[in-house]
Amino acid sequence: MAIPMTQLGSRAFHHEDNEDVEREYDHLRDLARAEADKRGDCFERSKRAYEDGDGARAKELSNQGKAHDAKMKEYNRQASDYIFRENNAPGRVDPDSIDLHGQFVEEAERILEQRIRADQARGQTHLHAIVGKGNHSANHVQKLKPKVEQLCQELGLQYSTEDNAGRIYINLQGGEPIPPQHGGYGGQQDQYQPHHGQQQHGGQHRPPQQHHQQQEQDETEMVEGLIPILLQKLEKACCMVM
């Protein structure tokens, strides 16, 4: 199935202005459009050749059209992968979010479904799908939001729209779609961001109560150890006075 060449928003890169990113993205999409035009031309000429009774020519043009179709899909794949890496680079989105800006609708659907299934397998509880507010869409009608909602319905997931943030909150484990009040990714932030977790170097970490009890025990042992020394000094002092 051909991918409709309509993307989310007027800008593919959903962060600070970066002309290099936009330029590379536009270049790949333009190459895909050029191949789509060539594909359409070949198929149209193939149809006319077939109607004229030139089966060999029709077959040749059909194969050329299929070749252009393959190139179009490859350029679109490169553009999709490229803008996804840029929009979802570390530090640009939260670990429990996915930014779908710059994706064609069918591309976004595929990417989101893969992410949902992967997160569910890891035991994550929720996901924020960034779909935009529709400010730059034609007549301010969002193209991606209905597709995301449809996907959630097909997967049996409950969701809620965060209009002000241009996001859709998806509950990955069932239940009401209530966004978490605190940070962290499904209660497993350290699992998702292992380099941000608290590391322990040597020795066994003690809970606060055990640590307090150990401190009291150490102080008691220190006092008990000082008592014989003090008694010896007192005895010497008494002997000197006498």
Query: What does the domain layout of the chain look like in residue ranges?
Result: 19-87, 97-180
Question: Which letter does DSSP use for residue 117 in this model?
Answer: H
Q: How many CA atoms lie within 13 A of 132 on its CB side?
A: 27
CATH of domain 97-180: 3.30.1370.110
Predicted TM-score (pTM) of the model is 0.66
- 141-160 in b/e form (b: 16+ CB < 10 A) is ebbbbebbbebbeeeebebe
What local confidence, expressed as pLDDT, does residue 163 receive? 65
For residue 15, how far is the Cα from the chain centroid? 15
What local confidence, expressed as pLDDT, does residue 143 receive? 76
For 199-220, write each residue's pLDDT tens digit. Answer: 333 333 334 444 444 555 555 5
Distance CA 95, CA 61 (A): 48
Distance CA 210, CA 78 (A): 56
**How many CB atoms sit inside 10 A of residue 22's CB?**
16
Please state, in angstroms and as integers, the Cα–Cα distance from residue 174 to each residue in 51, 82, 109, following that order: 56, 32, 20
Q: In which residue ranges of the chain is pLDDT below 50? A: 1-10, 136-141, 182-213, 223, 230-231, 233-234, 236-242
What local confidence, expressed as pLDDT, does residue 34 receive? 98
User: What SS3 class is residue 158?
Assistant: coil
What local confidence, expressed as pLDDT, does residue 17 receive? 60
Helix ranges restricted to H, the chain: 19-51, 55-87, 105-121, 144-154, 189-192, 208-241
What local confidence, expressed as pLDDT, does residue 211 receive? 42
Which residue's entry shows tokens 């779908």? 100
Distance CA 24, CA 61 (A): 31
